[in-house]
């Protein structure tokens, strides 16, 4: 399905450019909920509201919340004794973090994405059944740190690549289970799962893919537009896993060059000389205002026509923490 975007074409000698705008793009329900939690906490309790780790991986969002009174820290020990709310980021945290918060009698609002929490619950369930657990994901990513931290040290084995899948040696090949980070490449994960299933026929795989609906939908939309785009811009931050995956997906799907940018001020115009088609999408933690700014920058230099290409409709929303529901309703 395609639609048009309000960008006025101007016939003043500027070269024509068709921008294919991927839909769905940008904020997912988990990101939307996490940002709301910080904003509503500021509204109800006043500043400061402490946030452990970037609430979502987007500098613009983080800076906007800082301007409203949010204070970002990496660890709880950076927070002084306080009655102020402490928010855990959308990526989830190891069990040791809420335990430390309880010890300090901190007032916690958990903004962990419910789809990440679902993976945490699954990991515990599998572990209790005596399964050895493989986690397909990226080392050091906060979500992977949080998921691994649900279980005792050494209980989870990280599988990052096809090579890892080929070389992994289990204690008992009949007692294996796999879970995944929610923001991975759907295709890469499918390839790794296929190898693991081939090597270990008894392996337990998720009943439903752990990769979240929003990651899958954004990748599908990019696959649809990539073949007709000479360039693709993914609006997102360099530390955003799902945004980085969109760049890879675009190039694999036939776009000659895809690039990740946070702001329109980062555009290197030499990359776009002579092009007639451009794809634009945004990672799940990038706000729409940054997409609009990117399109406006091209409209200054090109005679732009914008076509929105829609591959799915999203209407998912997640409940807010009980303490904030009445503020939201008001």
Catalytic residues: 143
- Beta pairing, strands 303-310 & 2-4: antiparallel
Any residues with CB less than 8 A from the CB of 137 and at least 6 apart, and which?
A: 143, 144, 147, 158, 159, 160, 180, 181, 184
H or E, element range at 213: helix 213-225
DSSP of 206-269: -SS-SS-HHHHHHHHHHHHHGGG-SEEEEES-TT-HHHHHHHHHHHHTT-SEEEEESSGGG--G
Tell me the C-alpha distance between 108 and 191, whole Å: 39
How far separated are the first and last CA of the chain, in Å rounded?
36
Question: Is 314 in contact with 58 (CB distance < 8 Å)?
Answer: no
Tell me, rounded to whole angstroms, the distance of Cα 74 from its chain centroid: 19
CB 257 within 8 A of CB 275: no
Which residues contact residue 277 at a Cβ distance below 8 angstroms, ignoring those fewer than 6 apart? 17, 18, 19, 20, 228, 229, 230, 231
Place of tokens 């820290």: 73
| CA-closest candidate to residue 59, choices 243, 258, 231 | 243
- 19: β partners: 278, 306
Residues 6+ apart with CB under 8 A from 20: 225, 228, 229, 277, 278, 279, 280, 307, 309
CA distance linking residue 138 with residue 181, whole number of Å: 8
């Amino acid at each position: 399905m395609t639609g048009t975007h309000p960008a006025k074409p101007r016939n003043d000698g500027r070269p024509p450019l068709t921008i294919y705008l991927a839909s769905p793009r940008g904020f997912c329900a988990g990101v939307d909920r996490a940002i709301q939690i910080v904003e509503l906490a500021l509204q109800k309790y006043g500043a400061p509201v402490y946030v452990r780790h970037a609430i979502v991986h987007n500098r613009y969002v983080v800076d906007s919340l800082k301007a409203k009174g949010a204070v970002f820290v990496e660890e709880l020990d950076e927070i002084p004794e306080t009655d102020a709310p402490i928010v855990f980021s959308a990526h989830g945290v190891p069990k040791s973090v809420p335990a430390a918060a309880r010890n300090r009698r901190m007032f916690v609002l958990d903004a962990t994405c419910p789809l990440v929490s679902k993976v945490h619950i699954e990991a515990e369930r599998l572990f209790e059944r005596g399964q050895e657990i493989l986690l397909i994901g990226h080392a050091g990513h906060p979500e992977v740190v949080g998921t691994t931290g649900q279980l005792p040290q050494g209980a989870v084995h990280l599988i990052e690549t096809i090579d890892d899948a080929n070389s992994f040696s289990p204690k008992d090949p009949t007692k294996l289970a796999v879970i995944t980070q929610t923001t991975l490449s759907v295709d890469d994960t499918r390839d790794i799962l296929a190898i693991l299933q081939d090597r270990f026929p008894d392996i337990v795989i998720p009943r439903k893919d752990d990769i979240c609906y929003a990651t899958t939908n954004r990748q599908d939309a990019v696959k649809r537009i990539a073949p007709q785009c000479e360039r693709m811009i993914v609006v997102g931050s360099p530390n955003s896993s799902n945004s980085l995956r969109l760049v890879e997906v675009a190039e694999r799907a036939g776009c000659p060059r895809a690039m990740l940018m946070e702001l329109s001020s980062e555009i290197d115009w030499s990359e776009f000389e002579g092009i007639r088609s451009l794809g634009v999408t945004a990672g799940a933690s990038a706000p729409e205002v940054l997409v609009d700014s990117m399109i406006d920058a091209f409209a200054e230099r090109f005679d732009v026509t914008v076509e929105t290409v829609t591959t799915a409709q999203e209407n998912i929303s997640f409940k807010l923490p009980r303490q904030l529901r009445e503020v939201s309703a008001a």
